[in-house]
Structure 1
């Protein structure tokens, strides 16, 4: 994304730099169009699973696949300032519709949607960052870590972090950080934890008590 400029786009198209502004007024608008096009590359068919969990898993994996295909995409919007583009809303609608029939209050329903999205997007931001770091340093992730082995060994052997030392010492060949595996682990863990809430089992402490028929929470004090 840092390499994207209106002048660079014009050069790739073989046109004058200012002529691109006839179509998009700024780089920010260009990025919105790019993001909308990328999010629109995947959709959901009529033969989708009926189970809420299977539908949510499909939505999460679809988004993860798009971020995998376009590593820059996760950098285009933050959780607090989401992109106002049609095709991202399609993915949000998919998850919300999967959860909507379970009697959840609107705050809880949307909070679950945001939480699931943050898991996918939060991991995906590291795809572009790692690619940028490799380009800037000329080192792969493993090469970068190898260069910091003395520092890590000093931390382990300092005696100040026994839990860290115990876990790291248990890895025979070091820890292989794989984002795909973390995505799957996080998705399963989130859905396991959310299942009692979504399916109306005993409430989880701290969650909003606004299921259908439940007593509304008091207003601000």
Structure 2
């Protein structure tokens, strides 16, 4: 009988081809430990795939121990990539081109373990590492290793998911027990302001969610409002003044925190650090400093020399002092 040629093997799915390419870059030293790997958006553009496919590729690399997500940095090459005990490569999925055994059973198990809490946790991880713009229901499903529509069994829409994420993030705020609460209103307001800033520092996407005129009605956000308003209560302030001061303090933190996410987005889209971007503005800055139109700007910036560093943490503390001094004047006038 004539020998028949077996049909060619089907090409591996796109996400595995992406995994293989990034794995090669790491193995050849093109990407070293600590280096950023392409983000989901960069992978989607470079390979012409959906964000969910890009997320699935990064999830595979993470499960294999090759990469790790760092909040506001992105996904980077892990130290000692792909090694776990005995120097053997850790494998949680079949190699490129192979089919998983018992794939249907594994997917069923993933579905059985799926909860709203797991979905929210996965979504927060994506937003922390890649920004809110990178979040999608398909991307969350890919990160959890379930079918694309599975999260909809627990969350109605992406908008609902974002609200659940925000409530969970604000719920991480830890305020002291009554015995450890500062005695004075100023100490309590300082503690509340710094607590909120730490949350925004950890989850910068929170500052992008809503304008002051459309506040989020979230139980865990109200915990913060309760802390701040109770600190201002009992000092002769009328309700309108108390609420205005609360909104002012909240907007102060939120206004600074907006820049955390925007800087991360700018770094991801341009590939430049803050210092590298500033270096590229030297010619434009020189035109301003040599123009007679801006004498005060020229004097101040020239006087700064190389000693100024725009540190948002330091700026928060610097601005908080005069802000509280102003509130103290209002409190003293009412008592």
State TM-score, norm by structure 2.
Answer: 0.59
Query: Could you tell which deviates more after superposition, 151-160 or 74-83?
Result: 74-83
Counterpart Cα distance in 2 of 1:101 and 1:174 = 44
In the other structure, the counterpart of 1:66 is 199
Distance 2:331 2:136 in 1: 45
For 1:15, which of 121, 146, 166 is the aligned residue? 146
Distance, in Å, in 2 between the alignment partners of 1:13 and 1:50 is 46
Cα drift, residue 44 of structure 1: 1.3
Which string of whole-angstrom CA distances, capped at 9 and with x for unpartnered residues, describes residues 53-92 of structure 1? 0000000000001111112121122212121111111011
CA drift of 1:21 comes to 1.2
Partner of 1:83: 216
Check conservation: 1:6, 1:27, Cα contact below 8 A: yes
Residue 132 of structure 1, aligned match among 265, 285, 295: 265
Partner Cα distance (1:83, 1:21) in 2? 22
Q: How does 1:44-193 map to 2 (within 5 A)?
A: 44-45=175-176, 46=178, 47-173=180-306, 175-193=308-326
Change (3 A) 1:174 1:143: farther
| Contact residue 156 and residue 164 of structure 1 kept, 8 A | yes
Higher Cα Rg, which structure: 2
Task: Return the offset for 1:174.
Answer: 5.3
Alignment of 1:24-63 (within 5 A): 24-45=155-176, 46=178, 47-63=180-196
Aligned residue pairs total: 202
Equivalent pair of 1:67/1:73 in contact (CA under 8 Å): yes
Partner of 2:9: none
Cα distance in structure 2, aligned partners of 1:84 and 1:52: 25
Equivalent-residue separation in structure 2 for 1:157 and 1:60 (angstroms): 40
Q: Quick one: distance in 1 between partners of 2:325 and 2:297?
A: 27
| Alignment partner, residue 194 of structure 1 | 327
The Cα RMSD (Å) is 1.3
Regions of 4+ moved over 6 Å: none
Q: Deviation at 1:175? A: 2.9
Unaligned runs of 5+ in 1: 201-210, 213-221
Q: Is the 8 A contact 1:168 1:174 kept in 2?
A: no
Residue number in structure 2 paired with 1:203: none
- Residue 283 of structure 2 aligns to a residue whose secondary structure is helix
Distance 2:279 2:327 in 1: 39
Cα deviation, residue 143, structure 1 = 0.7
